[in-house]
Every structure is written in structure tokens, then in C-alpha cells.
Amino acid sequence: KEGVSPLVAERLRSFLLYRYKHPVAQLPQFARDELPRILLKEVTSHLYKGVLQKLHLFASLSDDVLMDLALCLKPLQVPPWQLIYKEGDWGESMYFLTKGCIELSIVLMANSAQKDMGLGVVPDIKAVDMHSVKHPVQYHVTSEDGDGHVAYKPRVYKWLLNHTNNLTHFGENVLASTERRLSSAVAKSWSVLYRLDQEALEKVSTKHPEMGKIWKYLRTHKQTRLMR
């Protein structure tokens, strides 16, 4: 506690208290390693499979495939204003939202023009104060005019995802391509996410040929901005 301001100490206390009162269910490693498959299937179905069954992307998959996918999910609990990823980042994961609200945003400018102007997305340093910041992602232009002022302010399109909508997954464009993130994602409230990594998805695909249609979908749609 020494050297920590009262404001920071209070934020830490609030953060830890929320995490304590709202734990996220996780399957311990010993259960993955030691439980019989039939029992593991029942436990996994109870904890995670419902997350995947709600998504049209995985709706046609068998229970065995869904169980293996569910075992790959990594639960995350993120506080308000936390930057999950930013536009232009390299990525290898997609996310499923089961509680809370996520704001997605894109710069309305071609990638080539962004590069020419030195446009980049940076986290707002004020985002550390979860109670005051209103715009946790800033769009920064490195080129300035003669007086040192920003020469251009880009237009940004924003939209929200919440757990009551049908579109509860995001970040999937990087799974089937070598492209960077097409959007920025920020938590607008306390949110529970499940992360699915590309490496894990590929391992499930080698075991279950029916996953081929999932990869086909991702590759077909990888060029669209709708694949966040």
C-alpha cells in the first residue's frame, strides 16, 4: 500500500471486490487431464457449450466437436474501459461475449490512406480512470501542421455488442488470414468473454474434418469489414 494514492487504492479495491463477488467459471487443468471423457463432456457442456451453441457459426457442429471447442475456450473478465485490441494490431484470437457490453470502432479511411498519413490507433491514457473516461480509444495522426496541431481528425464509426444480441462474437477476421485487426474493441461495462485462439482451433480441425466448413466460412468472409 505504501506509495499508492488513495484514488488508485480505491480503484484496486473496487476491482478486486468485483472479481471476488462475480467469479467466472473455469475448468481446472486437473479436470481436463484426469476426468473420463464422458464425465468431462458433461462438465464441459454445463460450463461452456451453451456459449458456442448460440452462434450460427457453430450451430451445425456435432456435440463431440462442440465439446472439444469448448475445452479450448479461455474465460476472461474485463473491467469497463479496458482495451481488448486495437485496429491495426496483429491477432490470433476471436472472442465470445456472454455478459456485458463491448464497443467496436473502425476508422472510415482506406488502409493505404491511413498509412500515408501516419494514422494509428492508441489507447487513451485516461482509460486508467474507469469512472471518468468517455472515449477509451483515441485515433492519433502523427502528421501535424506548422503550429504543431493535428492536421486531420478522422471519422470513426462505432457500434455496440451486448450479450442479449445475436452477434455475440467478434475479432474473427484474424483466424483465417494474415491480416491485422479491422477494428478496435473496448469494454463498456464489466464483461465476461471467452477467447478462442487460432492454434487451438486448428488442433480441433485436425481431429474433426467437419470443421472444414468453419474455415471455409472464415476464409470466404475474411475481406469484409463485418468480420471485426
Quick: pLDDT tens for 52-70: 776 777 777 888 888 888 8
pLDDT confidence of residue 159: 87
- Reference 193, options 24, 15, 20; nearest CA is 24
> C-alpha grid cell for residue 221?
468472409
- Reference 51, options 27, 15, 81, 28; nearest CA is 27
Averaged pLDDT of the chain: 76
How far is 67 from 69, CA to CA, in rounded Å?
Answer: 5
Q: Are 73 and 51 in contact (CB under 8 A)?
A: yes
Q: Are 193 and 78 in contact (CB under 8 A)?
A: yes
How far is 72 from 113, CA to CA, in rounded Å?
Answer: 38
Residue range 125-156, pLDDT digits in tens: 554 444 445 556 766 655 555 565 555 667 88
What band does 102 get if pLDDT is binned at 50, 70 and 90?
Answer: very high
pLDDT confidence of residue 134: 56
Q: At a CB cut-off of 8 Å and minimum separation 6, what does 59 contact?
A: 53
Place of cell 473516461: 133
Highest mean pLDDT among 15-29, 147-161, 177-191: 177-191
Residue range 38-47, pLDDT digits in tens: 787 777 767 7
How far is 130 from 18, CA to CA, in rounded Å?
Answer: 13
- Reference 26, options 168, 194, 190; nearest CA is 194
What is the arithmetic mean of pLDDT over 182-191?
89
